[in-house]
Amino acid sequence: MRNRYRNMIAGFAALSVLLAVIVTSTPCHAQAQAQPYRTPRTKDGKPDLNGIWQAVNSANWDIEGHGAAPGPFWQLGAEFSVPPGLGVVEGGPIPYKPEALQIKKENFADRMNRDPEIKCYLPGVPRAMYMPYPFQIIMSPEYIMMVFEYAGAVRTVYMNHKDAPADSWMGWSNGHWEGEALVVDAADFNELSWFDRAGNFHSDALHVVERFTAADKDHLNYEATIEDPKVFTRPWKIRMPLYRIVEKNAQILEDKCVEFSEEVLYGKLRKVPLK
């Protein structure tokens, strides 16, 4: 009896040692999850981010947290109202300089005249990445193309650094790999694009550093550090997942919105006003 008891204790001790060894020496389930996902590789050995992707959030309405709100025309009722969102900005409000915050507020108040999306203008970066339209990543060793449905916008990411020939709406993107992450340094923007429909804006000093990292086969983690000393007091970050469009035969369709914005742009110059 006593021996049996002793044996039991010895058995328990052995078992707990064994368990401890197992726990500390082999990756348990929880630790395995903490290991970064290893992205399948392209034929030239780079993380394969090819695919059609889309953000599923309401950052295009306002990158900061916001409640639901009515749309601009009462006739449309629930259609075209503003969907609520928790926001994609990390760590509190966007650090605007006081005078820039004033401009942001004026932008929102006058958005029917100022929002570049209404005019079908190119969306800029990072806005292109979270507009409610899909985009496709097409990877080759030298160039990574991002083709957006909205307005047929395009980004070329140069994997062999090239200097920008001029400022532009979509800016100039140079990329490199840091382990699993595609890091894109985007600059040389003009001052004309916005971050969202809420009037959040930047100047031509905008500098965006983005990281695209696969979380698993159907999700990318996207984060962007935004720097613009003319408008913000310090760099700040946005972060969101991008979801793979998994439908069979999905494709980027054409959304040439220029035609839809002509009346906004040139309607007041008509010979005969629209009734």
Partner 1 sequence: MNQRLITPLGAILAFILIAVFLMPSPAAGQVKLGTNALSVAPAAAKPWTVTKTPDGQPDLQGYWTNNTMAPLQRPKGVTKEFYTKEEFFEALKKQAELDGEEATPGTVEDVHYDHSQFGLDRTQGLLTPNFRTSMIIEPPDGRIPPMTAEGQKRAADLAAERKKQGAQYDQAQNLPFVTRCIYMGAVPMLPPAYNNTYQIVQSPGYVMILIEELHEARVIPMDGRPHAPQNVRSWLGDSRGHWEGNTLVIETTNFNDKVAFQGSSRDVKVTERLTRTGEATMKYEFTVDDPHTWTQPWKAEMPAIKTDGPIFEHACNEGNYSMGNMLRAARVEEKRAAEAAAKKGTE
Give contact residues for partner 1 (rule: CB under 8 A): 42-44, 50, 119-122, 136, 138-143, 145, 147, 152-154, 156, 158, 162, 165-166, 168-170, 192, 249, 251-254, 256, 258-259, 261-263, 265-267, 269-272
DSSP 182: E
Alpha helices in the chain (DSSP H): 2-25, 29-34, 98-109, 111-114, 127-130, 258-266
- In sequence order, the 6+-apart residues with CB closer than 8 A to the CB of 192 are 116, 121, 124, 169
Rounded to a whole number of angstroms, the minimum distance from the CB of residue 144 to partner 1 is: 9
Rounded to a whole number of angstroms, the minimum distance from the CB of residue 261 to partner 1 is: 8
Q: How far apart are the first and last CA of the chain?
A: 102
Rounded to a whole number of angstroms, the minimum distance from the CB of residue 165 to partner 1 is: 7
Q: Could you check whether the bond before residue 83 is cis, i.e. omega within 30 degrees of 0? A: no
Q: Which is nearer to partner 1, 121 or 195 (CB)?
A: 121
Q: Which is nearer to partner 1, 45 or 92 (CB)?
A: 45
Rounded to a whole number of angstroms, the minimum distance from the CB of residue 54 to partner 1 is: 15
- The CA–CA distances, whole Å, from 50 to 136, 138, 143 equal 7, 5, 12
Task: Please give the structure tokens belonging to residue 2.
Answer: 């006593």
Q: Is 179 strand, coil or helix? A: coil
Q: Which is nearer to partner 1, 94 or 220 (CB)?
A: 220
Q: Which is nearer to partner 1, 122 or 182 (CB)?
A: 122
Rounded to a whole number of angstroms, the minimum distance from the CB of residue 190 to partner 1 is: 9
Q: Which is nearer to partner 1, 168 or 203 (CB)?
A: 168
